[in-house]
Amino acid sequence: MTTEKDTLNYGPVLFHYDLFPEKLEQHGKVKKVITKRGTFALKEAEMTEDERSWFTHVIQRLSEIGFHQVVPLYPTKFGDYTVQLGSRTYYLMPWFASDERNERAKDEVLIDHLGKIHALTLKEQDFSNEVVEHSYQYLMNRWENRQYEMERFTEEAEQKTYMSPFELTYLSHFHQIMRMTEEAKRRLKEWYETCQREKRYRSVLCHGKVSRNHLIFNPTGEGHLLNFEKAVLDTPIRDLAVYFRRAAHQKEWTPEEGKSLLDLYEKHVPLLNEERGLLISYLSYPEPVFNAVDLYCMKRNDYSQIEMVHRLESRIRAMKKIRDFCDAIMMAPPPAPMEPTDSIPTKIHINDDGDHI
C-alpha cells in the first residue's frame, strides 16, 4: 500500500507528470507507480547537471540514429526529461512487467542491441598521441599500484605463523593471479604500441553499465535497454569487458557461450586486432580477485571466513573461465576491414573504474 510518507516523498516528483499515485511499489532501484492513467516506472538517480543533459541527449540521439530499442523517457508537463529535487534526479518510463519466458534469450538480445548501438555510433578517431599516452599511463600505473598492494598483502600473510583460510586460499593461487596480471599488462602495452604504430583508435557510444538487469522486454516480447546514466563515448571494449566479466561470474556461463555471443556482436562491429588485445587485457586483469582481498582487509568482521573464502574461490573460478574465453578470442578469424570516418576525437578512456564485480 502507498503510505502518506510515499505520497509526500514522491508527490512533488509525480506532480511534474500530473500523476497521482494510487500505489507505489519498490522494485530494486525503481518505483512502480500505479495511477488511474496507467502504470509507470520511476527511477531515482544522482546526477550532476552535465550528466543529466548528457543522459537525455543520449536517449534522444539513439532515437534519431534509428535505435528504438530503448525504454523511452516520458517528458514532464514542462517538457523536461528529468526532474531534479534537491540532490536527486528522477525520470519516468513505462512499466514493463518481467517476462520469465524471455530470460534465456536475454544475453543474446543484450549483446545484439549493444552491437547495434556500437555500429550506429562507431567512429574512427583522429590519432592523438597525448590522449593515448595519458590513457595508457593512467591505467598501467593504476594496475601496477594494485599489483604492489596485493604483493604486500601476500608478504604479510606469508610472515604469519598461522594463516587464515582466506589467506591460505589466496596464496595457493597467487602465482596464477600474478601471471594474469602480467598478461593483462603485456596486452595493454601491445595495444598501446599498435595504436602508436597504426595511429588509430575507434570510439562508440558505450552504455557504460551493461547488465542483464538493464534489458527488459515489452508486452510484445521486444527487448529494450534502459539505464543509460553512465553512457560515455569510449572504445567498444569498455562495454564488452564489463559484460563478459559479469557474465563469467554466472555459474552456468561457459567460454563457448561467451565466444558465440562475441561472434554475434562482431556481426555488427568486427573487432580490430588491437581491440581484441585490449579486451583480453581488460578481462585478464584480476581486479575482481583483488577486490575480494580488499573486502577481506576492510570488512573482515562483517563476514565469516567461509563467506570470504567462497567469494574468493568463485572469483578465481570465474577468472579461469575468462582465461579460457580469452584463448578462444585469440583463435578468432581476422576482422573485416573498416570504413573510415571523419570525426574529431574527444577523449578515450581505457580505465573502467567501478565496473568491476
Distance in angstroms (rounded) separating the CA atoms of residues 55 and 230 = 8
> Nearer to another protein by C-beta: 45 or 332?
45
Of 49 and 342, which has the nearer Cβ to another protein? 49
Beta-carbon-side half-sphere exposure of residue 340 (alpha carbons within 13 Å): 6
Please give the angle made by the CA atoms of 176, 314 and 230, to the nearest 5 degrees: 100
Q: Give the residue with the Cβ less far from another protein, 78 or 162.
A: 78
User: Which of 105, 126, 178 is CA-nearest to residue 346?
Assistant: 126
CB 79, min distance to another protein, A: 4
Q: How far is the CB of 94 from another protein (least distance, A)?
A: 16
CA distance 148 to 271: 32
SS3 annotation, 134-153: HHHHHHHHHHHHHHHHHHHH
Rounded least distance, CB 95 to another protein, Å? 19
Question: Which of 11, 334 has the CB closer to another protein?
Answer: 11
Give min distance, CB of 33 to another protein, in A: 14
Residue 93 or 318: the one with the smaller Cβ distance to another protein is: 93
Q: How close are the terminal C-alpha atoms of the chain, in Å?
A: 35
In whole angstroms, the minimum distance from the beta carbon of 37 to another protein comes to 9
Q: How far is the CB of 90 from another protein (least distance, A)?
A: 13
Phi–psi pair at 91, nearest 5 degrees? -145, 155
| Least distance to another protein, CB of residue 276, Å | 44
- We find the least distance from the C-beta atom of residue 7 to another protein, in angstroms, to be 7
Binding site for another protein (CB under 8 A): 7-8, 11-12, 15, 18, 49, 75, 77-79, 84-86
Contacts from 328-332 at CB under 8 Å and sequence distance 24+?
A: 328/255, 328/256, 328/258, 328/259, 329/259, 329/262, 329/276, 329/279, 329/280, 330/276, 330/280, 332/259, 332/262, 332/263, 332/266, 332/276
Cβ distance to another protein smaller for residue 82 or 203: 82
Angle at the Cα of 102 from the Cα atoms of 43 and 205, rounded to 5 degrees: 55
Q: Residue 10 belongs to what H/E stretch?
A: helix 4-14
What own/partner pairs with CB < 8 Å and gap ≥ 24 does 153-158 have? 153/293, 153/297
Judged by beta carbon, residue 1 or residue 8, the one nearer another protein is: 8
Residue with smaller CB distance to another protein, 44 or 324: 44
